[in-house]
Amino acid sequence: MQPVRVIRSRTVVLPVNDVDTDQIIPARFLTTTSRTGLGQHLFHDWRYRDDGSLNEDFILNSPSARNCRVLVAGRNFGCGSSREHAPWALLDSGLQAVISTEIADIFRSNSLKNGFLPIVVDDATHRWLMENPGAQVEIDVAASSVMLPDGHTVRFSMDAFARYCLVEGIDQLGFLQAHVEAIDRFEANRL
């Protein structure tokens, strides 16, 4: 995994609560056996109209969303299925972080393993971000902070191990493999 340290970007705001993984990437696109190229299906049924044409009313299709790497969304983002295709699709589209007041457990875990940042902030900060689309923010992973355009900094909580892996670009499988003797012992003790 590539290290993820600082992200500077304008935000794009999706003012919807409980955005589920079926919206992030519908199940019919999960027949792939690859983890790349999924960005074309991101929010597919919101991004495209019934006739297949681009839905220009959908925020991620607007010119203001271009090059935005930080998504701000309503509470409980990423609820639903365990599909890791959700963070794969977000990353493949150029997004690198989501900011919400609550993020679903499995989505959060999957995101952290791929270098996509699931960031939970307090209600007041979230409300400000929702009301100010396009705000320039700076996310500092090592400091676990988001800097708002006025220079004010808001801390977010992130598991220490996940943060370490992100900043150093460490693959968590390597950590598990380094404990193979402990795993061997555990198995031997159970027999």
R_g (Cα) of the chain, nearest Å: 18
Closest contact distance (angstroms) between CB of 17 and another protein is 4
Q: Between residues 10 and 75, which has the closer beta carbon with respect to another protein? A: 75
Q: Between residues 11 and 81, which has the closer beta carbon with respect to another protein? A: 81
Closest contact distance (angstroms) between CB of 189 and another protein is 10
Closest contact distance (angstroms) between CB of 24 and another protein is 10
DSSP state of 34: -
Q: Between residues 114 and 147, which has the closer beta carbon with respect to another protein? A: 114
Q: Which residues contact 137 (CB under 8 A, 6 or more apart)?
A: 8, 9, 10, 11, 70, 99, 129, 146, 147, 148, 149
Q: Between residues 64 and 76, which has the closer beta carbon with respect to another protein? A: 76
* CA separation, residue 97 to residues 12, 75, 79, 139, 168 (Å): 11, 15, 16, 9, 17
Residues 82, 78: Cα–Cα separation, whole Å: 9
Q: Between residues 66 and 185, which has the closer beta carbon with respect to another protein? A: 185
Closest contact distance (angstroms) between CB of 35 and another protein is 5
Closest contact distance (angstroms) between CB of 146 and another protein is 21
Give the strands of the sheet with 6-14, arranged side by side. 117-120, 97-100, 70-73, 6-14, 136-140, 145-147, 153-155
Q: Between residues 95 and 137, which has the closer beta carbon with respect to another protein? A: 95
Closest contact distance (angstroms) between CB of 147 and another protein is 26
Instruction: For residue 9, give the 3-state DSSP assignment.
Output: strand
Q: Is 37 left (phi over 0), alpha (psi -120 to 50) or beta?
A: left
Q: Which residues bind another protein (CB under 8 A)?
A: 15-18, 20, 22-23, 26-28, 30-35, 45, 50, 74-76, 79-84, 102, 104-106, 109-110, 113-114, 159-161, 164, 172-173, 175-177, 179-180, 182-183, 186-187
